A and B are shown apart, each in its own frame.
Chain A
Amino acid sequence: MATLALTPCGDFRTSYREDTTIFPTRTSRNVAIASVALLCLVPLTGDRYVLSLMIQMGYLGIAALGLNILVGFTGQISIGHAAFFGFGAFSSAWLVDQGVPVVAAMPLAGVMTTAVGMVFGIPAARLKGLYLAIATLAAQFIIEDFFARARWFTGGVAGRVTEPLTLFGLRFDTNESYFYVVLFYVVVMFVAASNLMRTRDGRALVAVRDHYLSAEMMGINLTYYRTLSFGISSFYAGIGGALYAHYLLFVSVEAFNILFSIQFLGMIIIGGLGSVMGSMMGAVFMTMLPEVVQWFAAALSGSAIDRALGLGAAVSYLREMTIGAVIILFLIFEPDGLAHRWRLIKAYWKLYPFSH
């Protein structure tokens, strides 16, 4: 039965297949496909600024999704995600230097990052909570240190220059063209994660999070799934990093510090722990936040408020302060993140104007 409503009043599903789809209704699926198609049109507007923001959202969103699989779905914690993101960026750049074409280097960088993630994941699979946080903190510093010392891999403090993606004679070196590359990866990675979460191993990850003792009694190997979760999470970080590397065409060591890791955590907390789409919402939010703060700062500077408070140079710190404040506010008022708020909004409109 065709319907325009986002959620039809009544359940028309007649087969198990219809009951296991990613999107709750056919309309919501079509809307999602249409949105992706609409996004394909964005480069035609030629707005470089908007495009560069959206590309950022794309690769950050992929990496944030990886962290969400680890933290939100498996209930592990990692404060070294930026290091894996960086490792993906350097791996891809390094592989290109070894003569691997960029198109193959990007997924391979994901695989290399997975390997590194598993190495750190194996001891981490035996730790929980605070202890795991410290172990991943160690991973962050070890990998950062590795970046600074392994000149053959990262180019040392000078950083590493890399090449843009070329495919079938096309060079993806402009915002307009690279946008499509990122969009492609975003769609593939998000669909893959959604599929993962509705099959056996995805359920096992969530089971490990919700009650690891009974998960084990249900035949789930805890060590395997905790390590696997680290692997998948690192793969996503690696892909995100590789996209970042071939967008900026230059990777420097300093970018992947612990602050960046905390930002990833901020993204998934704000977006919604344990929600695939929430990861993207968080990445969008975190990308837009500094821009919005920037606009405010620009509007403020020189104004009466600026003079009265003597903000001056301090305006540039507004960004960091706002991010901190926003995370705290989200933890208090919306601990389930934007994804939950989005569900509430949908539920509201479903019944509008009758609230009961």
Chain B
Amino acid sequence: MKQDTPILEAEHVSLRFGGVRALTDVSFSVRRGELFSIIGPNGAGKTSMVNCISGRYRPTEGRILFDGQDITALGPNKRAGLGIGRTFQNLALFGHMSVLDNILVGRHHLMRHGFLTGMVYWLFGAQKEELEHRRAVEDIIDFLEIQHIRKAPAGTLPYGLRKRVELARAIALRPRLILLDEPMAGMNLEEKEDMARFIVDLNEEWGMTVIMIEHDMGVVMDISHRVIVLDFGKKIAEGTPDQVLADPHVKRAYLGEEDEVLVDETERVE
């Protein structure tokens, strides 16, 4: 595994649903250890892009390379095994399971004991494996500060905590690349700060490469290393937060035609 190769490459990815062009010829690459953001107005194709990476959609054209391997044709469950984890824009927890079980589901591809040995829990080491993974899960629970809800059914939790449990479940996969689809949507300031801290820690301390979709520009510009901007399914800009903010295409996409007010806005954000 060479360190200088990008962990993820999207090559000329296009996605069409009938006549609707969700993505058109999008190419970018994400470097190992990067915190990479995808931004763009509503309906720009950000979630479609993430779905192409995680395997929910298969691109109509183009290729997705993970760690140099072509994964365009792999099913989502295979990609999880390779080390791609994700969270969802609309919560997608297993509502009737406890938080603990939700996170343990994330360990699925790391565990070996199937139903036969599982049924005789004590005999062939299924118990040992369960307890080992429980320990790993507890580390994640500690990290995300959700100890108090570990036994609660996930469906009963408030929104902010559900988002956090979903992040925990994605981390439990032990992914090398984690895709976060609007991790801070609908959160208050305090929750956003917590979440931003978790994401930075994941990136810096746990060494995960992060691809994040987020609408909160303050957060995106603060913590991202690089950003790409999508608009109507096309990539209109790529670069560091500063470069992207200065890009005239981006200004047009977000605010319509360029004018005096807009320049002031940009300076304030910086």
**Interface residues, chain A, with chain B CB atoms under 8 Å away:** 16-17, 19-20, 192-193, 195-196, 198-204, 206-207, 209-211, 213-222, 228, 232, 274
Contact = CB atoms under 8 A, between A and B. Distances in A.
Given A198-B130, A210-B96, A220 B118 contact: no
B2 to A, nearest CB: 26
Interface stretch (B101-109, B212-220, B223-231, B245-253): B101-109
A224 to B, nearest CB: 9
Contacts of B135: 16
26 contacts: A16-B131, A17-B131, A20-B127, A20-B131, A192-B120, A193-B119, A195-B121, A198-B121, A200-B108, A200-B114, A201-B113, A201-B118, A202-B115, A203-B108, A206-B101, A214-B88, A217-B55, A217-B86, A218-B105, A218-B108, A219-B78, A220-B105, A220-B108, A221-B75, A232-B115, A274-B96
A200 B113 CA distance: 7
A210 B105 CA distance: 12
Contacts of A203: 97, 101, 104-105, 108
A228 B116 CA distance: 11
Interface string B132-160: 00110010000000000000000000000
Given A195-B120, A201-B114, A218-B173, A207 B75 contact: no
Given A17-B131, A20-B131, A199 B118 contact: yes
B130 A20 contact: yes
B54 A196 contact: no
Given A199-B121, A219-B77, 11 more contacts: A16-B135, A195-B119, A200-B107, A200-B129, A201-B118, A206-B94, A207-B97, A217-B76, A217-B85, A217-B88, A222-B77
Contact of A220 (B77, B130, B138): B77
A219 B108 contact: yes
A209 B94 CA distance: 8
Given A206-B94, A213-B56, A218-B169, A195 B118 contact: yes
A16 B121 CA distance: 15
A274 B115 CA distance: 17
A214 B80 CA distance: 11
Contacts of B77: 216-222
Interface string B70-112: 0000011110110001101000111111000100111111010
A8 B88 CA distance: 39
Contact of B113 (A199, A207, A210, A232): A199
Nearest to A194: B121
Given A213-B56, A217-B86, A221-B77, A200 B131 contact: no
A286 B169 CA distance: 40
Given A16-B134, A200-B111, A214-B88, A219 B80 contact: yes
B94 A199 contact: no
Given A214-B93, A217-B76, A218-B80, A204 B105 contact: yes
B66 to A, nearest CB: 14
B76 A211 contact: no
Contacts of A221: 75, 77
Nearest to A211: B92
Query: Which of B106, B119, B129 counts the most A-chain CB atoms under 10 A from its CB?
Result: B119
Nearest to B92: A214
B94 A214 contact: yes
B121 A210 contact: no
B126 interface: yes
Given A219-B80, A220-B77, A196 B119 contact: yes
A214 B78 CA distance: 13
B131 to A, nearest CB: 5
B106 A218 contact: yes
Contact of B105 (A17, A20, A207, A274): A207
Contact of B94 (A195, A207, A222): A207
A76 to B, nearest CB: 16
A285 B265 CA distance: 70
A210 B95 contact: yes
A211 B81 contact: no
A216 B105 contact: no
B173 A211 contact: no
Contact of A216 (B75, B101, B169): B75
Contacts of B130: 20, 198-200
Contacts of A201: 113-115, 118
A211 B93 contact: yes
A17 B129 CA distance: 11
A274 to B, nearest CB: 7
Q: Which 5 A-B pairs have the closest CB atoms?
A: A219-B80, A199-B118, A210-B94, A219-B109, A214-B92
